[in-house]
Structure 1
Amino acid sequence: RSLYTLSALVTLTVVSASVLPAKRSHLPAVNAQGEMVWLDELSHPVPDKCDFSCTNQDVNVCAHNGQCLQMFTSRCTMAAYNCRNPQKRFNIVENYKCTQGYVPLCSPEERKELGI
């Protein structure tokens, strides 16, 4: 008889935690966008995680969101858009699709609705 050994596979999940800075003020306030924030955040704003440092040296990319095509100035600008708009994500497609009329390009109304 052959004896098979079953080994258990253990998966470790590493959770990184960050310590939030102590608030100097525990008073709520309203920022310029009408959002509730802590009063000290008005003078020391929280960095925008979607504020990418995109350069002008990248190539244009054509992208599709399931509705229309949009030409972005770079992968970086498209990634920044997707970061800010996760429910309206664009995915890169071949550039010729934006220049040869495959699927309709996003209209001015659609771009306004999408915030582009």
Structure 2
Amino acid sequence: MFSNILYAAGAATAPTSTNGIVTLVITVVLWGGIFYLLLVRPQKKRTAAHKQLMDSLKPGDVVFTTGGIKGEIISKNDEFIELRVDKGVKLTVKKNVISSIYKNK
């Protein structure tokens, strides 16, 4: 009976520190990969698509803003775009509020 107690006590020893470090590194790398694939990569794609949209804008294009305003581009510079939303009504908005180009089909 005493030998069973000693055997059980020996089996309950903690794992070596090398095993714990390797497991920790593998876990961190896996979570980092999941984070990159689910959050970072899709956001980079959306940012690149929006930048391409901003570069393709030209006067005469009809666009929508993030607030839902539809207007025709009159002029643009590096930071702002001037929109005509109705006869005699012009708005100056920042480029980053343009959400899409209106395609009348």
TM-score normalized by the length of structure 1: 0.24
TM-score normalized by the length of structure 2: 0.26
Structure label with greater radius of gyration: 2
Task: Considering fraction of residues, name the structure with more strand.
Answer: 2
